[in-house]
Amino acid sequence: MLQIKPSNLKLIQKAINVQYFKFIKNIAVDDKEKISKPRSQIKGIDLIRNPSLYKGMAFTIEERQILGIHGLIPPAVLSQEVQSFRIMENFRRENDDLDRYISLTNLQYRNEKLFYKVLMDNLELLMPIIYTPTVGLACQKYGVSFRRAAGLFISIYDKGHIYDVLCNWPESTVKAIVVTDGERILGLGDLGCNGMGIPIGKLSLYTALAGIDPTHCLPIMLDVGTNNQTLLDDPLYIGLREKRIDGKIYEDFMDEFMDAVVARFGYYCLIQFEDFATKNAYKFLNKYRNKYCMFNDDIQGTAAVALAGIFTSLRVTDIRLEDNIFLFVGAGQASCGIADLLARAISSEADINFEKACEKIFMFDVDGLLIEERTEGNLKGPKFQFVKKNFRPTRDLTDAIEQIKPTALIGATGAGGIFTDSVLKKMAEINERPIIFALSNPTDLAECTAEQAYKNTDGRCLFSSGSPFEPVNYNGKTFIPGQGNNSYIFPGVALATTVFQSKHIDEEVFLIAAKSLSDQVTDENIAEGRIYPPMKKIHDVSVKIATEISKYYYKADVATLYPVPEDLESYIRDQLYDTTYQSYVPNTWKWPEQHMIPKQFNKFVK
């Protein structure tokens, strides 16, 4: 990434101006031959207000004349490189992450191509801003930071008219929707309508991590009320000011929504369910998975990324999958989703049935170890298959570890800090290389920090977390914690699904995604303490995951794109979103050499 010395900023400004005036003197704006038909029908102020078409000061002088926007933007002509450079300079000057989130979102609504270029070029720095953890903070404050609608809000009062609301969306080609009802936003709970930041953030990653065209993506908030009293009492709250509707009315509303999407955008429009409360997440997944093109990211996406982390960790511990004992802390959708996919993986690797595979998996929730002997709390729902017998009831996690002797401890509790020093030390005592995953989001809710994990296990643990942590120095060694976040999975799944227009997305897809992700971790990555590929490789990772899934889609006869492309990977690559600006004046314009950063600014760059 480029960094300019602050003292040189003035010189750069001057250089830009000199180039601009040199250039403007040379251009003949009335040269009829050069002025050909613009490619866009949209002109003038409408063009400036259209984020997919707008390119700010990168409009050439010719384009400004033809498109009727001359004078509506400042006189300098800047290349996209210089623009992204300015954005990053401003980014560094912002006071806090929420301000950075707001600036980047404003850029997204102003100039989409520039937003994605900046994001893709600075992924490691910007992902924690537009996604977890800052997006969580933005959701909590969405009432105040809400600037402009970037998706659809459909409320329970739209029941009977959902199709009409979908028709208000200006794009007719929508290939992917991320939808939430805001009831379980990250580990933050019910944020009602403020949860809209999550579908927006997830879809930004569809483009930034997997190259899916943003105009094909639609974030949707289904506002069915909120049970969050603070929001209900907040005069600035942006959603319906009433308690959540549930039961039959809510379910009929969801059914109508699913059918309306198919009627408006087609049966292969992907619908990603995000941050629903556990009981609804499972209910809708089971009800819709064989009828629509949908998946639940918190159950299935999280499962695949965690399983990939387990596969990679086992390359280090050298213990066969079926010889491990897994203890899940938290028995909600993330834990049950991972445990379920893990049991499938064990069952297929060890050639044993699913029930037998479940014997390797234990769970511990707010009422302690999940065993038949316990008298408190329920044992029903998806966690049921992991309930054991003949163990001593305990509510003490260290004691549970002592009893079960797990090789892996996986937290998805939303209970920050639950992996205390004594829990971590116990794991280190009974394992040479303990596997510790602290998956809850955002950062404050992680079960432990990366630093605590490495310190309490003498640097021996294989660690990953849902939210990002900085590298940790311990005993002279640097450890790079893995980010076991579903963002490694859902973009690739969505890419394969939208390109090949799959009818359904079954469990096998997530097993394939997990294997493909783990296979892409190199020995060098592992030597650095990583269990996932570096974020900067994510585009390739997503394409490879999508390629593996697409082979399966054709094998399972769910892909509907015909004829079948000869080379699936290169077909996918051909579809990827390009952040380069379009030219509105064909064949007449070339950026003068001096306009291109880094050459022009090389001498100013540290």
Ligand X SMILES: O=C([O-])CC(=O)C(=O)O
Quote the CA–CA distance of 214 and 174 in Å, as a whole number.
Answer: 9
Residue 340 annotated as part of some ligand binding site: no
Under rule CB under 6 A, residue 466 binds ligand X: yes
Under rule CB under 6 A, residue 447 binds ligand X: no
Residue 298 annotated as part of some ligand binding site: yes
> Looking at 186, 307, 446, 499, which residue binds ligand X (CB under 6 A)?
186
- The two tokens of residue 146 are 């809400």
Output helix, strand, coil percentages for the chain, rounded to the nearest 5: 50, 10, 40
- The two tokens of residue 342 are 């893990």
- As measured in angstroms, the least distance from the Cβ of 486 to Mg ion is 7
- Residues engaged in binding Mg ion (CB under 5 A): 274-275, 298
- As measured in angstroms, the least distance from the Cβ of 249 to ligand X is 26
CA 376 to chain centre: 36
- As measured in angstroms, the least distance from the Cβ of 444 to Mg ion is 16
> Looking at 275, 340, 365, 447, which residue binds ligand X (CB under 6 A)?
275
Written as one string, the DSSP assignment of 98-118 is: HHHHHHHHHHHHH-HHHHHHH
A 10 A CB-CB count for 583 gives 16
**Residue bearing tokens 């059914």:** 255
Q: Which of 131, 142, 282, 454 is catalytic?
A: 131
Q: Which is nearer to ligand X, 105 or 485 (CB)?
A: 485
Q: Which is nearer to Mg ion, 80 or 443 (CB)?
A: 443
> Looking at 80, 122, 132, 280, which residue binds ligand X (CB under 6 A)?
132
Under rule CB under 6 A, residue 195 binds ligand X: no
> Looking at 111, 335, 441, 502, which residue binds ligand X (CB under 6 A)?
441
- The two tokens of residue 44 are 């003038």
- As measured in angstroms, the least distance from the Cβ of 445 to Mg ion is 13
> Looking at 456, 457, 485, 579, which residue binds ligand X (CB under 6 A)?
485
Contact 69, 59 (CB under 8 A): yes
Under rule CB under 6 A, residue 297 binds ligand X: yes
* Helices and strands in the chain: count of H runs, count of E runs: 25, 14
Q: Which is nearer to ligand X, 332 or 529 (CB)?
A: 332
Indicate the DSSP class of residue 576: S
Q: Which is nearer to ligand X, 51 or 330 (CB)?
A: 330
Residue 485 annotated as part of some ligand binding site: yes
- As measured in angstroms, the least distance from the Cβ of 334 to ligand X is 7
Under rule CB under 6 A, residue 394 binds ligand X: no
Residue 355 annotated as part of some ligand binding site: no
Residue 275 annotated as part of some ligand binding site: yes
- As measured in angstroms, the least distance from the Cβ of 536 to ligand X is 19
Helix (H, G, I), strand (E, B) or coil at 435: strand
Q: How many residues contact ligand X, by CB under 6 A?
A: 9
Quote the CA–CA distance of 533 and 147 in Å, as a whole number.
Answer: 35
- As measured in angstroms, the least distance from the Cβ of 416 to Mg ion is 17
Q: Which is nearer to ligand X, 81 or 275 (CB)?
A: 275
CA 102 to chain centre: 18
- As measured in angstroms, the least distance from the Cβ of 487 to ligand X is 7
Tell me if residue 131 is catalytic: yes
Q: Binding marks (x or -) toward ligand X, 86..125, rule CB under 6 A?
A: ----------------------------------------
Contact 194, 140 (CB under 8 A): yes
**Residue bearing tokens 């300098």:** 76
The interface partner of residue 213, options being ligand X, Mg ion, none and the CB cut-off 5 to 8 Å by kind, is none
Residue 122 annotated as part of some ligand binding site: no
Under rule CB under 6 A, residue 457 binds ligand X: no
- The two tokens of residue 306 are 């965690």
Q: Which of 175, 202, 426, 544 is catalytic?
A: 202
Q: Which is nearer to ligand X, 195 or 533 (CB)?
A: 195
The interface partner of residue 313, options being Mg ion, ligand X, none and the CB cut-off 5 to 8 Å by kind, is none
Written as one string, the DSSP assignment of 207-240 is: HHHH---GGGEEEEEEE-----HHHHH-TT--S-
Under rule CB under 6 A, residue 431 binds ligand X: no
Quote the CA–CA distance of 387 and 313 in Å, as a whole number.
Answer: 25
* Beta-bridge partner residues of 254: none
**Residue bearing tokens 């300015």:** 86
The interface partner of residue 466, options being Mg ion, ligand X, none and the CB cut-off 5 to 8 Å by kind, is ligand X
> Looking at 155, 347, 394, 486, which residue binds ligand X (CB under 6 A)?
486
Written as one string, the DSSP assignment of 304-371 is: HHHHHHHHHHHHHH---GGG--EEEE--SHHHHHHHHHHHHHHHHHHT--HHHHHTTEEEEETTEE-B
- The two tokens of residue 263 are 């009627």
User: Phi, psi at residue 335, to the nearest 5°?
Assistant: -60, -50
Count the alpha carbons within 13 Å of 335 in the hemisphere toward its beta carbon.
28
Quote the CA–CA distance of 430 and 163 in Å, as a whole number.
Answer: 57
> Looking at 183, 190, 223, 298, which residue binds ligand X (CB under 6 A)?
298
Q: Which is nearer to ligand X, 334 or 428 (CB)?
A: 334
* Beta-bridge partner residues of 408: 326, 435
Could you list the residues known to form a binding site for a divalent metal cation, using ranges. 274-275, 298
Binding site for ligand X (CB under 6 A): 132, 186, 275, 297-298, 441, 466, 485-486
Which residues carry out catalysis?
Answer: 131, 202
Residue ranges at the known binding site: 184, 274-275, 298, 441, 485
Binding-site positions for (S)-malate: 184, 441, 485
